[in-house]
Amino acid sequence: MWAIKALGSLVFSQEQGAGQTASLLQLPLGCFNLITPSNTKNSRECLFVQAAATIQRTATPHNYQLVISRLYEDDHEADLAAEDDDRIDDEQAFLIDEALALTLVHTDSSAATTTRSANTSANPYARKVKPQRALSWNDPGDETGSRRLEFVIDSSSNDVTVKMFETMLYQCMFERKYGSNDNGMDVELYIAQQKGIIPGSTRSANTTPLAAKSMARLMSDASTTPGSPASPLAHKTPSKAPATLASTPTPLKKPLPGGLAGTPSSSNTSTPVKQTSAQPPRMPPTSALANATSLIKILNAPLFLYDIRICQFCLMNSSVTVELVQPKPYIFHLLITEDKKPILSQQIEERMNPVFNREHQSFVWVYIEPDTGNMYSWSIKFPDSPSETAFKDMMAKCMYETLHKEAFGKVKQEEQRYLIDAYEEDTLMTDAFAKLGVNDYMDDQDESDDQKLGDDEQEEEEEEEPVDDNDDGESEYDDVAGPSSSKGHKNSQLAVGYKYDRSFVVRGNRIGVFKHTDDNKLQFATTIDNVRDLSNRTFSPRKVMLHEQDSSMLVMKPGESHNIYRMDLERGRIVEEWKVDDIVPVDTILPESKFAQLTPQKTFIGINHNSIFRVDPRLSGNKRVDNETKQYATKNDFSAAVTTGKGELAVASKKGDIRLFNKLNLRAKTHLPGYGNPIIGIDATADGKWVVATTKTYLLLIATVTDGGESGFQKPMGGQKPTPRMLKLKPEHVAWMGVEVSFTSARFNTGEDAVERTIVTSTGPYVITWNMKRVLKGFLNDYHIKKYADTVVADNFKYGKDDAIIVTLPENVEMIAKNKLSTPQRLLTPQKMKNRNSIVNSPF
């Protein structure tokens, strides 16, 4: 007991450090592994070949974190790692809490270990040391609780140091749980319980769910569950409870301090303001579901709720019944009950952001509280794989009928699987590799030093000041601009130049011009003031497109659907007005081909809700080319379109479907059915082998090549359509963000000689990227994020680059390095931000 008191005094006695981050104790060398259980044995993946483990005090009183830091042998190794797109962050932090189930174990040094590093063919660390002891804990990022993390301690650390480190971990848990460490005997007893030396251990393989009476009180507004008959699946599902996850986090018994783990709630600007409690939300009444038809029922499923403060799922109930019910035509509800008492009722809709994981047999979704708008992420784990598959299929059908208002049975048989399988999040796109070639997306990843965005060491030392939307630049601009200025307007559109390294930002009736510098920053160049038509009437452009080697800009005027204006960018004013057609309107325009912007090409393409046509300004009178027009009799609700490098055309609609054309005046070669969500933007790779479509809540990545290597632009794909992949934010991350997902149009990086490696989009104040190489491997959740102080209006890559992104905010414009985006896990912890010298306050 004396030893424990002495160590506690060393760690916890300095009250003046309670609000500061400080290192307390360190194991200087070890190996950091991820352990994934399988049917036969545990599979180890080496995350950091060499690493250090440190216990650190956080800024929140009585809270500490275990930090695992990657170590490099030399600067060259660090540089190679920095160029690897697949690398995880060099520092991983874990809040020290009972939920981690930390323990000191002995490992088998001969166990096979794979390595994540692309630059290391084997694990050299296994040859340098003979690991015996290891710290093991739950992986907070795994909602199922089945994966563990492991720090294998190097033999150079003596027994005393290891013992002291272990004891300090338990002391940190004790102080976090009880808010003090005054009673040495209590600490000693607590440590003995944690180690299992004496009975009464708080760690248990079977996690205790919330008390039934607590759940009943929280759900007091819910009435009795509908007594609908069980579906056939319910009889096939085993009635016994599934095996309990051995490392499932324990429900919190004591409220945590405000804010995120390890950060002060008052100062962390990235902390969401919505969800503030680990307790479940109040659910709406279920009386309306009393006579609903039960479509599918799953028995004995554990129910989890994501706690944003410790960034992991907590078990709320070990055995619930999960149903999909239909109270009215095309209206469906998710209903969860315990002993026929309702726990959760939620109408099926796109904001649920549903995600299924075949490997973990789990379903995760977002719940938005109707009255408050608070967002929560729930999860259930299915008893077996057939239950997960059947529930996923039924959920996809319900979602389709909700959005289309028509029976799923009307969909062609060959297209039903196409629509259902996209909801699976962990599918390796092996067919895509065979069609596109592994080398195109796997091996060509090295970049020269002159392409890197600054020295890594210097960037780490830079700090970013918060962007002030009320910067003096705006008032100075408005004073100079005079009464006809765009005062009060915000940035609304972004057009990126291909030819002359310029970006154009629309702000009211003005267009700001920004130069791309050699060091990948933006420099304000000039302003095109007071955009006016040929009748000298000022207007704010609703659509702009660069044209004729970036010497012209095509402009569309609000309220006019038949005219297009050409602006001479050298003169900075509109010089021509073209009447497209007297009857056929034009809603949006796009280039003749993906790189037509680099050529003197005069013609371009226009679309409206049911027509696609070529526009030729050289024609006398109306500019629409009659014999190159495809008009549909029915209203297809076309909403967006894109061309490939060959001029092939992909047209998307508000119904969610996509048509692939190789000529304008012919029928589409391929029709890709939609999920019902309106498509707001679409982009394609230069070779046309990939299309990414953007809806409000997800991106749809589609391969346009059949198993036989035929392009869907040139030949109907029929039943050979590859399964699309939904790229979406994990529901738990949506709950953490606290804002509804609303994506901007996603884009590939582009360039005549570039390989499309990255997809960029944004939602709210967040810029998000997906790595194509990782997506094609099936890692759909490996996205990176950067948060801003304001909503992102538009974003796109610098032409010819995939490592520089231009971001337009309501008041500012910035070019950022792609490596400045973080993994969601890293974003949850405080970190340095870069200098704002690359931000241009752009009231122009």
The 10s digit of each residue's pLDDT in 719-759 is: 888 888 899 999 989 988 888 999 999 999 999 888 999 99
What pLDDT does residue 120 have?
Answer: 40
The answer to whether the pTM exceeds 0.95 is no
Residue 658 resides in a domain: no
What pLDDT does residue 243 have?
Answer: 29
Residue 371 resides in a domain: yes
CA 553 – CA 498 distance, rounded (Å): 13
Residue 306 resides in a domain: yes
Please, which pLDDT band fits residue 132 given cuts at 50, 70 and 90? confident
Question: ∠ CA(640), CA(645), CA(646), 5° rounding?
Answer: 100
| CA-based torsion, 556, 592, 624, 636: positive or negative | negative
Range scoring the smallest mean pLDDT among 469-473, 519-523, 651-655, 696-700: 469-473
Please, which pLDDT band fits residue 105 given cuts at 50, 70 and 90? confident
For residue range 363-391, what is the model confidence (pLDDT) as tens digits?
A: 999 998 887 888 899 999 999 999 999 99
What's the mean pLDDT in 20-38?
A: 84
What pLDDT does residue 442 have?
Answer: 45
Domain boundary among 410, 443, 464: 410
The domain spanning residue 230 has which CATH number? Answer: 2.30.29.30
**Residue the block writes with tokens 């003090």:** 180
| 63 and 180 assigned to the same domain | yes
Number of domains forming the structure of the chain: 2
At 413, the amino acid letter reads: Q
More confident residue, 561 or 284: 561
Q: Residue 675: pLDDT above 70?
A: yes
What pLDDT does residue 210 have?
Answer: 33
Tokens of 529: 């003031």
| 90 and 237 assigned to the same domain | no
Q: Are 835 and 462 in contact (CB under 8 A)?
A: yes
| 218 and 189 assigned to the same domain | no
Please report, for residues 284, 288, 306, the alpha-carbon distance to residue 321 in angstroms, rounded to integers and kept in the order given: 18, 18, 19
What pLDDT does residue 83 have?
Answer: 55
For residue range 535-564, what is the model confidence (pLDDT) as tens digits?
A: 999 999 999 999 999 999 999 999 999 999
Residue 7 resides in a domain: yes
Q: Residue 107: pLDDT above 80?
A: no
Q: Which domain holds residue 140?
A: 2-195
Residue 776 resides in a domain: no
Q: Residue 826: pLDDT above 90?
A: no
Q: Are 587 and 608 in contact (CB under 8 A)?
A: yes
Backbone angles phi, psi at 329, to 5 degrees: -60, 130
DSSP string, 166-190: HHHHHHHHHHHHHS----HHHHHHH
CA 480 – CA 485 distance, rounded (Å): 9
Question: ∠ CA(544), CA(546), CA(550), 5° rounding?
Answer: 150
| 81 and 184 assigned to the same domain | yes
| 288 and 151 assigned to the same domain | no
Residue 176 resides in a domain: yes
Residue 485 resides in a domain: no
| 168 and 257 assigned to the same domain | no
DSSP string, 414-441: HHHHHHHGGGBS----HHHHHHH-HHHH
Q: Residue 831: pLDDT above 60?
A: no
Count the helix, strand and coil residues of the chain and give each as a percent rounded to the nearest 5: 20, 35, 45
At 78, the amino acid letter reads: A
More confident residue, 64 or 288: 64
| 281 and 142 assigned to the same domain | no
Tokens of 437: 């070639």
| 325 and 245 assigned to the same domain | yes
Q: Residue 428: pLDDT above 70?
A: no
Q: Are 544 and 532 in contact (CB under 8 A)?
A: no
| 168 and 85 assigned to the same domain | yes
Residue 279 resides in a domain: yes
For residue range 477-498, what is the model confidence (pLDDT) as tens digits?
A: 333 333 334 567 899 999 999 9
Average pLDDT of every residue of the chain: 76
